[in-house]
Amino acid sequence: MTDFHIGVMLAGMVLILVSFLWTFYDRKKSLDDVRKIEGEREELSRIVTDAEIMVEELNRFSDYVVSRVDEKSRETMDIIKNMELKAKEANQGENESCKSGKDGDKKIEDKAVHILKENLRRRERKRQEKEPDKINNRHKEVIGLAEKGFSETEIAKKMGMGKGEVQLILGINR
């Protein structure tokens, strides 16, 4: 009978030992799962942050585009008004020239050529005044860093710009 009791006790001890080992294995597995979930959570928060930054950059860029479109619309309207005024002046000059004959025709032609040249000069001056250098120093610096082998993320951090803005600059200048 003693052998039986010893056998049962040994079997019980083995079962207890197996249950402890199993418990430790489960704890290790659950800790690994928790670490994996934390890593994924951090990655998701980083992705959300990047997405928010991109949305902000898109909003700024869309504001810029809208302002440029408005500016060009105003310029176009000004040009149309100027052309209408010039047409009225030309019509008045034409009426006067019809009265004066051939000398009036030459005057009208000279006046029209002068008006067209003046309009072209004005447009060119406006374009040069309003249109700054297409690649300013900051853009040149971004391009230089990219040529040196920096990644877009490193350039964005170094320049204090958004990653999307860096991608846009590099995409435009390829």
Q: How confident is the prediction along the chain (174 residues), in pLDDT tens digits per residue?
A: 688 999 999 999 999 999 999 999 999 999 999 999 999 999 999 999 999 999 999 888 888 888 888 999 999 999 998 998 888 888 887 666 555 555 666 777 778 778 888 887 887 777 666 555 545 788 888 889 999 999 989 999 988 888 888 888 888 876
Domain ranges in the chain are: 2-131, 134-174
Helix ranges (DSSP H) in the chain: 2-100, 102-130, 137-147, 152-159, 163-172
Q: Positive or negative, the Cα torsion across 156, 160, 164, 170? A: negative
The DSSP output letter for 148 is T
Residue 132 has a pLDDT of 54
Task: Determine the pLDDT at residue 100.
Answer: 57
Measured in degrees and rounded to the nearest 5, phi and psi for residue 105 equal: -60, -45
Q: Contact at 8 Å (CB) between 108 and 87?
A: no
Give the residue among 70, 85, 68 at the shortest CA–CA distance from 119.
85
pLDDT digits (tens, 9 = 90+) for 85-115: 888 888 887 666 555 555 666 777 778 778 8
